[in-house]
């Protein structure tokens, strides 16, 4: 393995341009912190962040405090940890792009049909960034996460995108190959140490890039002639992929590239062409037809009153709150479904920021490659917005989302808390997360434990939720769910809660279940539902106490309000995280 000779270059920026005078420095710094945290997999100590960003410790502390206030990170001892609300930035890009909402169902169906992973990717300068992943659960499958960036030349989609590259794009690519020969700027993939198998053109780091260049140019010419491309283990031994472009019906340019990913134990690269490519092409034709038929995007409501809370937070946190960072970040959330290109005036109006503030934020984002000017003096988000926290969180699960909130609840109540779901076995529940209280007589449950649903408060809540769901499907409300899934548009949070509560009240007046002497003598538990984006009960949150500690009335009076608040925090995170990614419940 050759020794590392050059320090890793700044991420994704081979040729940094001078910082514009009007750029907002705290915003640049906050973005640097989010980018480093994302590249590190979502968790970094504050001192590592200090080292990675080159910022002063006090600056890192204030940025971290501000991001924590926004809910984008959690401060856990000395660590900063990305939290699900940061996904609203990537969601804004994916909603504005609209392709995941329009095409992901077809990609999922193709994955089911072929029993192989299928992805959708867009071009991100000389890289390839994933916007959807339909993955298989099997031992030998490597797949990337939504938001991961790969170097174009080491993928199947890359040569297809490169058929549309300008001279400037090729120059940018050559410069990047020279400054970053080992691909350190791509944290999602292993660095290059030796030529990839079957790649006679792959070169040793530091040897110059002539063969590599020739090879990619050749693959691009082939992709141009054939309208498909292969990845024969360019990233990892065993990983093979075949790709075809999905063209925009209006411009005929490539909107995204669909890929089928497999392993050499199942398919050789050559055999992908004969077995999988025909079916990929049929699916791509259907995707293009879907794009042709898609009605214009209905703009959702702009996020309300964004600028207001930043002032309040400043009042409360003082110096520790970097208001210009918080304000700048809200600019990204002004974009979304039907709001793909916004003028400065529209951004200011949507966020409630002063025009000058919105303008300086947009100048900063343009400099950072996070927005791009469009025709008509408007701006659009770029795929790079997905590098702000999305990939590490796109593989989360409900227990992982819930655990920090449950820990806070246990700390507050000094009672054990658990999360449970219904199992495949009829009328049984299974515990999926548990946070024990720290006093002597506390409830300890093993995650994975299965119990009959009847006789537990969690089971009662879950069975009520299931009855409610089947009633809704029979009543035709199921259609609303299907259309939300396909359009992917977020209903206003307020709407959803009202509806959920309304339905809930109709089922079990109180919206919670209280169980005395459950499982064993003296044990008292109280549970509330956790609902998904469609208002369906998907889990139950429970707090457990002992008869000697609280009366039944005290359970309702003292525990229920905090339990309900925690459930709604978990739901908020779940709804953000599941807008464009599949969040497993266990």
Binding site for ligand PHB (CB under 6 A): 119, 143-144, 155-157, 231, 235, 241, 259, 261
Question: Smaller CB distance to ligand PHB: residue 261 or 527?
Answer: 261
Question: Smaller CB distance to ligand PHB: residue 156 or 393?
Answer: 156
Question: Smaller CB distance to ligand PHB: residue 156 or 527?
Answer: 156
Question: Smaller CB distance to ligand PHB: residue 244 or 574?
Answer: 244
Q: Least distance (Å) from ligand PHB to the CB of residue 224?
A: 17
Residue identified by tokens 């009672």 is 415
Q: Least distance (Å) from ligand PHB to the CB of residue 472?
A: 35
Q: Least distance (Å) from ligand PHB to the CB of residue 170?
A: 20
Phi-psi region of 256 (alpha: psi -120 to 50; beta: other; left: phi over 0): beta
Q: Does residue 282 contact residue 321 with C-beta atoms inside 8 Å?
A: no
Report how far residue 479's alpha carbon sits from residue 146's, in angstroms, rounded to the nearest whole number: 27
Question: Smaller CB distance to ligand PHB: residue 64 or 240?
Answer: 240
Question: What is residue 205's three-state secondary structure?
Answer: coil
Q: Least distance (Å) from ligand PHB to the CB of residue 161?
A: 12
Question: What is residue 96's three-state secondary structure?
Answer: helix
Q: Least distance (Å) from ligand PHB to the CB of residue 153?
A: 10
Q: Least distance (Å) from ligand PHB to the CB of residue 143?
A: 4
Best CA proximity match to 583, nearest among 421, 406, 423, 395: 395
Q: Which long-range contacts (CB under 8 A, 24 or more apart) does 484-488 make?
A: 484/533, 484/534, 485/105, 486/101, 486/102, 486/105, 487/101, 487/298, 487/337, 488/94, 488/95, 488/98, 488/100, 488/101, 488/104, 488/337, 488/579, 488/580
Q: Which long-range contacts (CB under 8 A, 24 or more apart) does 110-113 make?
A: 110/134, 110/258, 110/260, 110/279, 110/280, 110/283, 111/135, 111/136, 113/279
Question: Smaller CB distance to ligand PHB: residue 60 or 261?
Answer: 261
Q: Does residue 147 contact residue 386 with C-beta atoms inside 8 Å?
A: yes
**What are the angstrom distances between the C-alpha of 11 and each of 26, 89, 313?**
18, 19, 31
Report how far residue 105's alpha carbon sits from residue 100's, in angstroms, rounded to the nearest whole number: 8
Question: Smaller CB distance to ligand PHB: residue 230 or 540?
Answer: 230
Secondary structure letter of residue 152 according to DSSP: G
DSSP structure string for 417-452? EEEEEE-SSTTEEEEEEEE--SSSS-----TT-EEE
Question: Smaller CB distance to ligand PHB: residue 262 or 545?
Answer: 262
Question: Smaller CB distance to ligand PHB: residue 236 or 481?
Answer: 236
Best CA proximity match to 484, nearest among 426, 449, 558, 536: 536
Question: Smaller CB distance to ligand PHB: residue 196 or 294?
Answer: 196
Question: Smaller CB distance to ligand PHB: residue 67 or 258?
Answer: 258
Q: Least distance (Å) from ligand PHB to the CB of residue 339?
A: 28
Question: What is residue 45's three-state secondary structure?
Answer: strand
Q: Is 261 exposed, middle or buried (0-12, 13-18, 19+ CB in 10 A)?
A: buried
Q: Does residue 36 contact residue 8 with C-beta atoms inside 8 Å?
A: no
Report how far residue 518's alpha carbon sits from residue 500's, in angstroms, rounded to the nearest whole number: 27
Report how far residue 470's alpha carbon sits from residue 292's, in angstroms, rounded to the nearest whole number: 35
Q: Least distance (Å) from ligand PHB to the CB of residue 119?
A: 3
Q: Least distance (Å) from ligand PHB to the CB of residue 328?
A: 32
Q: Is 253 exposed, middle or buried (0-12, 13-18, 19+ CB in 10 A)?
A: exposed
Q: Least distance (Å) from ligand PHB to the CB of residue 144?
A: 4
Q: Least distance (Å) from ligand PHB to the CB of residue 176?
A: 18
Question: Smaller CB distance to ligand PHB: residue 107 or 567?
Answer: 107
Q: Least distance (Å) from ligand PHB to the CB of residue 462?
A: 35
Start-to-end CA distance of the chain, whole Å, equals: 40
């Amino acid at each position: 393995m050759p020794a590392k000779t050059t320090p890793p270059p700044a991420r994704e920026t081979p040729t940094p341009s001078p910082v514009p005078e009007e750029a907002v420095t705290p915003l640049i710094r906050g973005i640097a912190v989010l980018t480093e945290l994302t590249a590190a997999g979502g968790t970094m100590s504050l001192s590592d962040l200090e080292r990675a960003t080159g910022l002063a410790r006090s600056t890192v502390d204030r940025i971290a405090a501000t991001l924590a206030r926004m809910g984008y990170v959690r401060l856990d001892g000395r660590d900063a940890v990305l939290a699900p609300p940061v996904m609203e930035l990537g969601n804004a890009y994916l909603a504005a792009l609209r392709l995941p909402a329009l095409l992901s169902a077809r990609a999922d169906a193709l994955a089911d049909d072929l029993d192989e992973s299928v992805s959708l990717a867009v071009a991100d300068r000389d890289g390839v960034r994933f916007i959807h992943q339909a993955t298989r659960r099997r031992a030998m499958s490597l797949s990337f996460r939504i938001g991961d960036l790969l170097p174009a030349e080491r993928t199947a989609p890359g040569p297809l995108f490169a058929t549309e590259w300008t001279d400037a794009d090729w120059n940018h690519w050559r410069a990047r190959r020279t400054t970053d020969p080992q691909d350190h700027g791509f944290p999602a993939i292993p660095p290059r140490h030796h030529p990839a198998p079957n790649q006679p053109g792959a070169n040793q780091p530091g040897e110059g890039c002539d063969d590599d260049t020739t090879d990619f140019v050749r693959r691009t010419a082939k992709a141009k002639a054939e309208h498909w491309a292969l990845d024969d283990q360019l990233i990892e031994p065993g990983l093979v992929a075949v790709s075809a472009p999905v063209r925009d019906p209006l411009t005929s340019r490539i909107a995204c590239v669909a890929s089928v990913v497999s392993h050499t134990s199942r398919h050789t690269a050559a055999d992908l062409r004969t077995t999988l490519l025909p079916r990929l092409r049929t699916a791509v034709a259907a995707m293009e037809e879907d794009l042709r038929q898609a009605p214009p995007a209905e703009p959702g409501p702009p996020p309300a009153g964004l600028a207001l809370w930043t002032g309040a937070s400043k009042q409360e946190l003082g110096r520790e709150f970097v208001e210009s960072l918080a304000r700048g970040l809200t600019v990204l959330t002004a974009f979304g479904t039907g709001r793909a290109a916004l003028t400065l005036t529209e951004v200011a109006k949507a966020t409630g920021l002063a025009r000058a503030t919105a303008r300086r934020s947009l100048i900063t984002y343009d400099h950072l490659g996070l927005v791009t000017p469009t025709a008509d003096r408007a701006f659009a988000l770029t795929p790079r917005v997905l590098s702000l926290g999305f990939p590490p969180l796109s593989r989360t699960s409900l227990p992982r989302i819930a655990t920090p909130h449950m820990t806070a609840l246990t700390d507050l109540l000094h009672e054990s808390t658990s999360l449970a779901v219904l199992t495949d076995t009829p009328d049984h529940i299974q515990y999926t997360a548990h946070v024990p209280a720290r006093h002597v007589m506390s409830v300890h449950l093993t995650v994975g434990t299965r119990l009959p649903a009847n006789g537990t408060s969690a089971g009662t809540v879950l069975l009520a939720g299931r009855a409610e769901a089947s009633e809704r499907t029979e009543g035709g409300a199921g259609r609303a769910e299907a259309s939300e899934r396909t359009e992917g548009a977020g209903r206003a949070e307020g709407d959803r809660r009202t509806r959920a509560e309304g339905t809930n009240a109709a089922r079990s007046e109180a919206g919670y279940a209280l169980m005395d002497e459950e499982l064993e003598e003296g044990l008292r538990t109280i549970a509330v539902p956790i609902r998904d984006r469609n208002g369906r009960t998907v889990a139950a949150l429970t707090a457990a106490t002992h008869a000697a500690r609280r009366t039944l009335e005290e359970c309702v009076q003292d525990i229920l309000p905090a339990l309900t608040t925690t459930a709604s925090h978990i739901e908020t995170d779940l709804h953000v995280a599941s807008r464009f990614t599949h969040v497993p419940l266990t």
